[in-house]
Amino acid sequence: MRSDYVAQRLALPGERAVTVEGVPQSLKYDVRCYVYDGAIQLVAARLYQGQTTNFRTPGGGFALVRVVG
């Protein structure tokens, strides 16, 4: 925390079961918290397949995030 950058350890993606056009499948997901001045401004999740996130995966894209206090 004494540097001017943020480092993160490798975190493998979780997986979520979804149904696309009646076919069950497993998609990877990541959750990101966007923070400014120590306060969370936005929480976003993305569902995807393959090595990188994209918005072309059927059933993929942004996903609902429920924050539980």
User: Residue 58 is which amino acid?
Assistant: P
Here the tokens at position 64 are: 């609902």
What is the pLDDT, as a whole number, of residue 36? 92
10 Å CB burial of residue 53 (0-12, 13-18, 19+) is: middle
Whether this model's pTM surpasses 0.75: no
Here the tokens at position 45 are: 């999740």
Tens-digit pLDDT string for the chain (69 aa): 577 777 778 888 899 999 989 999 999 998 888 999 989 899 999 999 887 777 788 888 888 899 888
